[in-house]
Structure 1
Amino acid sequence: MTSAMLKALAHPLRRRITKVLARREFARAADVAADLDEPANSVSFHLRVLADAGLIAEAPERARDRRDRVWTRVSGAYSLGTPEHPVEDEALGGVLMRTVVDDHHELVRRVAAWAPEYVTGRATDVHALFTQRTVRLTPAEFEAMMTKVEDVMRAAVDAHDSDDPDGRSWDIDTVAADDTI
């Protein structure tokens, strides 16, 4: 992830915008503004910042005419860094990692607030899942497993009918840690 990407995602509204684009897949500034209850001109500005950083791109094939701007997320642009491709700005990377952790904690809080309704039978629709499993794997086996998990999620997204009225947006956090942490 480049410094421009890190700076773009450091802003909380921009992270919220990327989540809307992930849910909708394609959206206009007005759609995003309505979803977030934010002014359209502010959302337009932040969409341009995200685009300049390479995190989102226009989808002209979805536009109604030449003036219509439709946006989508750039696949693969959200990897923070790896040993082979380290983050350019360590301080910004740390800030972004903390915000991702905060987002994860908020998701866990939402699920925990909902879970008692489900486990007591007061709510019958599945909206979340808590699961925990301890496995013993080598680092290579763990990496292969996570690749398969990502492949399964990608295949499910690709197979989804975006016109299905029963479609819902699911936030999925996969948490894994080995026994050294």
Structure 2
Amino acid sequence: MSENEQGRTLDAGALKALAHPLRVRIYDILSERGPQTASTLAKLIGETSGATSYHLRALAGHDLIREVPDRGTARERWWERPKGRINLPGPDEASTPAGRAAAQIVTSEFFLLRHRALMDYLNRPASETPEGWEDAGLVTTTMLDLTPTQMAELKEEITGFINTVIERYKNDESTPGPRRVSMRTDIFDIATRSDADSEEES
């Protein structure tokens, strides 16, 4: 399996560099919209270009983003997020209190932005939906009763399918008019009242 397929697991330094709401937002925009400058990011976020430039340098210092080669000038630099997935260590995986706090900030901000993007999609007026995209999306929730082993097997199957889709479309330039698409997958067990009761009694 290649490094891109495995993904990059952020170390403590990179995680701490990313642990700022504005930096997570910048990172998310670069993932969603592609290369940007400090000025274009400032307009999108509602900050000054000086602030976005500062945060861009902090992200670049830990190789979270990089300057786009052969584009821009000395005064107007373009930045991009390198291709490939990243893996965020959970708070429980961090070895220090500072690391756990950084993991919590980054995870919370990413999921806040993810939920906001989903709600924007669900509340988008029909008049703003491009022709041909009216029924292209899918938002679904399914409840299953699984054992840990079954859930692990399902996770492996879905991960394999996602990797196949990525390989199929990542360099496809044969069809005009593509739009950036967010593909979301969640598999998690739901805490029951009995779980909470057990914790209270222990």
The root-mean-square deviation of aligned C-alpha atoms, in Å, is: 3.6
Kindly provide the amino acid, as one letter, of the partner of residue 109 in structure 2: T
Q: Is the contact between residue 15 and residue 106 of structure 2 (CA under 8 Å) also seen in structure 1?
A: yes
TM-score (norm 1): 0.70
With over 3 angstroms needed to count, the CA separation of the structure-2 counterparts of 1:103 and 1:180, relative to structure 1, is same
SS at match of 1:133: coil
Correspondence for 1:170 among 167, 181, 185: 181
Correspondence for 1:73 among 65, 72, 81: 81
Aligned length: 172
Q: Hey, what's the Cα distance between the residues in 2 that align with 1:13 and 1:110?
A: 19
Q: Hey, what's the Cα distance between the residues in 1 that align with 2:73 and 2:116?
A: 39
Q: How does 1:84-123 map to 2 (within 5 A)?
A: 86-88=93-95, 89-114=99-124
TM-score (norm 2): 0.65
Could you say which residue in structure 2 is the equivalent of 1:121? none
Kindly provide the amino acid, as one letter, of the partner of residue 188 in structure 2: A
- Per residue, is there more strand in 1 or in 2? 2
With over 3 angstroms needed to count, the CA separation of the structure-2 counterparts of 1:63 and 1:149, relative to structure 1, is same
For structure 2, which runs of at least 5 residues remain unmatched after alignment? 1-9, 128-132, 193-202
For structure 1, which runs of at least 5 residues remain unmatched after alignment? 119-123
Q: Is the contact between residue 21 and residue 72 of structure 1 (CA under 8 Å) also seen in structure 2?
A: yes
Q: Hey, what's the Cα distance between the residues in 2 that align with 1:138 and 1:58?
A: 43
SS at match of 1:58: strand
Q: Is the contact between residue 104 and residue 173 of structure 1 (CA under 8 Å) also seen in structure 2?
A: no
Tell me the alpha carbon deviations over residues 84-115 of structure 1, each in whole angstroms, 9 at most, x when there is no partner: xx445122212322223323332343344349
Could you say which residue in structure 1 is the equivalent of 2:154? 142
Q: Hey, what's the Cα distance between the residues in 2 that align with 1:77 and 1:50?
A: 16
